[in-house]
Amino acid sequence: MNVSWPRIWKSVYRREPISGFIITVGAVDAAIGGMGGRGSLLAFGLMVASAALVWRWWVIQRTRLEEPERVAQHYLPPTASRPQLPTLMASKKHPPRP
């Protein structure tokens, strides 16, 4: 778990830095409120973290819907439509000059 945790953490912040920060703030508030016996801070932290998670889920769902289908682009025509070129052979009588 120790090796994979930093990778997960970096990937979360790299994709969505704002919502990742808000989730972290909410989790810290919830932890401080839970350990300190502050019910209002615990509730506020849980509310902020859950709202950030819902926002992130909503953004991910919206980008999946808006993402157009990728069509393969062919830069060259199919091989059947191209004329066949003759194979180049070096002349045996006159070798290439250096």
Whether pLDDT at 37 is above 70: yes
pTM of the model: 0.53
Domain boundaries of the chain, sorted by first residue: 37-68
pLDDT attached to residue 57:
87
**pLDDT by residue (tens digit) across 51-73?**
988 988 888 888 776 666 677 77
Q: How far apart are CA 72 and CA 98, in angstroms?
A: 43
- Chain mean pLDDT for the chain: 77
Q: What are the DSSP calls for 32-93, one per residue? A: HHHHHT-HHHHHHHHHHHHHHHHHHHHHHHHHHHHPPPP----SS--TTTSPPPPPP---SS
Of all residues in the chain, what percent carry a pLDDT higher than 90?
13
**pLDDT by residue (tens digit) across 67-92?**
666 777 767 666 666 666 666 666 66
Whether pLDDT at 1 is above 60: no
* CA-closest candidate to residue 29, choices 20, 39, 18: 39
